[in-house]
Amino acid sequence: MEVEKKRIEILNDAGFRSDGRRQYELRDLSIDLSRHGEADGSALISHGLTQVLVSVHGPREAKMRSHTFHDRANINVEVTVASFSTGERRKRLKGDKRILEFAATIKSTFEPVVRTSLYPRSQIDIYIQILQQDGGTLQTCINGTTLALINAGIPMSDFVCAISGGVHSTSPMLDLTTLEENDVPHVTVAVMPKSKKVVLVTMETRLHVERFEEVLCLARDAAAVLHKEMKEAVLGRSEGLIKMGEVAIGQKGRGEDDMVLDS
């Protein structure tokens, strides 16, 4: 006798999702802007269980002449996926079509936002490592890239804040997990919060135009919430660096005073 598998309920009658959140509730956002490796700027970011590490190098001399532009910097994006990031244990190579699409999407999202004209004949390298995946991978990559670029001191016209959204039956939801992405039509929206301009919309499944407009409006509101948390993380990092600088100057001053006394 075959045992029928119980289907996990995406949204129950009480309005709760499979992980206990309500429709518009976002997952916990974790941000670490401390330096990782030799990068000029980096960010370790998590949306729920999805975790991404973004490292930025540059602006620096382009490795290839074909990537050198006399009037602006070239943005180079490379994405790698850890083999342990999903339950599949599948190793994705650099030439994987999905990875190349991810990199191209992120590059096209940030080219209008980064002030590349300030760095002609140079290259800005963005390396993205996807460490863990549980839905919202693209949004996590975009938000991590925003923070890493800011951490590297690269001028941008605005933050870029991204969020995923979908519709279950007639109920819109935000910040989807893998379980929800596999079951409902969904989109990823990236917004510049100051101007409220939408810089990216990706949709791999069909969604009714009325539902799309509703999800888009919700995404803009969610972007404002993400912007606040991301800005607080940047300010916290800046304050920490200022305090470290003051301590270093104080120690140097005390050292010079000791040298004077000894003489």
What pLDDT, on the 0 to 100 scale, is given for residue 226? Answer: 97
pLDDT at 67: 79
Question: Each residue of 199-223: b (16+ CB within 10 Å) or e?
Answer: bbebeeeebeeebbebbbebbbebb
Total number of domains in the chain: 1
Domain assignment present for 1: no
CA distance 119 to 100: 25
Token digits of residue 202 = 């990706």
Residue 211 falls inside a structural domain: yes
Strands, E assignment, 94-178: 123-132, 161-168, 171-174
Phi and psi angles of residue 111, each rounded to the nearest 5 degrees, phi first: -60, -40
**Cα distance between residue 79 and residue 157, in whole Å:** 24
pLDDT at residue 1 in the model? 40
Concatenating the DSSP letter of every residue in 23-58 gives TTPPPPEEEE-S--TT-SEEEEEEETTEEEEEEEEE
When comparing pLDDT for 45 and 195, which is higher?
Answer: 45
Mean pLDDT of 99-108: 95
CB burial readout 97-133, b (16+ within 10 A) else e: eebeebbebbbebbeebbebeebeebbbbbbbbbbbb
Under DSSP, the state recorded for 22 is: B
Q: Give 85's pLDDT tier (boundaries 50, 70, 90).
A: confident
The least confident of 88-102, 118-132, 198-212 is 88-102
Lowest mean pLDDT: which of 1-5, 38-42, 165-169, 229-233?
1-5
Nearest to 159 by CA among 172, 176, 147: 147
Q: Is residue 2 in some structural domain? A: no
How many residues does this entry show for the chain?
Answer: 263
How many Cβ atoms are within 10 Å of 229's Cβ, its own excluded?
Answer: 14
What angle do helix axes 209-262 and 137-151 make, rounded to 10 degrees?
30
Banded pLDDT at 196 (limits 50, 70, 90): confident
What are the phi and psi torsion angles at 225 (to 5°)?
A: -65, -45
Is residue 5 included in any domain, yes or no? no
Q: Please report whether residue 258 resides in a domain.
A: no
What is the DSSP secondary structure assignment for residue 120, as one 8-state letter?
T
Residue 256 domain-assigned? no
255 falls within a domain: no
Instruction: For residue 12, give the DSSP letter.
Output: -
User: Is residue 154 scored above 90 in pLDDT?
Assistant: yes
Q: Could you give the CA distance from residue 226 to residue 252 in angstroms, rounded to a whole number?
A: 39
Mean pLDDT calculated for residue range 102-124? 96
Q: Which domain holds residue 95?
A: 11-250
Intra-chain end-to-end CA distance of the chain, in Å: 93
**What is the CATH number for 39?**
3.30.230.70
Q: Is residue 187 part of a domain?
A: yes
Q: How confident is the model at residue 128 (pLDDT cuts 50, 70, 90)?
A: very high
CB 237 within 8 A of CB 33: yes
Q: Report the 10 Å Cβ neighbour count for 158.
A: 16
Q: What is the pTM of this model?
A: 0.88
Three-state SS at 183: coil
